[in-house]
Structure 1
Amino acid sequence: MTKQPVSVNGVVRWKDVGQSAKTAPAPHEQKEILLRHAIGEVLRDVRQRQGRTLREVSHSARVSLGYLSEVERGQKEASSELLASICEALDISLSKMLREVSDRMAVEEGINVPDTVPTEFSEQFKREYGIAATSSKDIPGAEPLAQSR
């Protein structure tokens, strides 16, 4: 790789010429997904869907307003105890919140997570309704999982 002078508005800068294949970014490189970012996004989305403020949730969860804000922005790694407290304040189970995080991360990673119904439920559904259920879409009143943000 060599350097070449380039003048912009009278200021000379040195530009790299002839980049090697090593330094060029790969076109299909995946974006790094951090768990704390995904958790924060889900917690914020749940809170906003409920129409609640950070102040209300931080008070209910007994967490400082600033810390909860940092967790929602993915700047802090929350402990499992803290996550449980926040989820309780939001009236959502920890497992449901983590499931939504998992689903979102799978979408970001390009992984197709099949929405399937266990065989025993499918058979019971078929006996009761006369049709087979292969996914939650086939079950009346079932909540579909969020597939994108």
Structure 2
Amino acid sequence: MIVLRQQIGDVLRATRQRQGKTLREISSAARVSLGYLSEVERGQKEASSELLFAICDALDLPVSVVLREVSDRVALLEGILIPDALPPDFSDVSKDSLASVS
């Protein structure tokens, strides 16, 4: 079974380490306890959307980039090949969906 919280945690941890930042730096900037952030990174706790945005802000990383990376990882685990470009009809549906949300 694929556990999303583990994939999200892996992406967050890899980003933090690539930036050379410590758990303490990110937990302070995101205003979350160091222990809780550690559990999120290890996939032991689910990050709420608010917490995910705060962590991403502390990493100077758009949430959409994290979600895209997680999506790509899940697709690989499912054995699905994701094309580099979306089909033209997909973008039309997205524009219509976004218009109805605004």
Normalization by structure 1: what TM-score? 0.57
- Name the CA shift for 1:74/1:89 in 2 (closer, same or farther; >3 Å): same
Q: Does residue 80 of structure 1 match 2:49?
A: yes
The number of aligned residues is 88
Two-structure CA RMSD over aligned residues (Å): 1.2
Higher CA-based Rg:
1
* Offset at residue 118 of structure 1 (A): 6.8
Q: Deviations over 1:86-144 (max 9, x none)?
A: 0000000011111111011111111100112676xxxxxxxxxxxxxxxxxxxxxxxxx
1:36-115 alignment, distance < 5 Å: 36-115=5-84
Between structures 1 and 2, the one with greater strand share: 1
Residue ranges of structure 1 left out of the alignment (5+ in a row): 1-31, 120-149
Flag as ranges the 4+ runs of structure 1 deviating above 2 A: none
Q: Which has the higher contact order (CA 8 A, sep 6+)?
A: 2
Rounded Cα–Cα distance in structure 2 between residues aligned with 1:117 and 1:74 = 30
Identical-residue share of aligned pairs (%) = 69
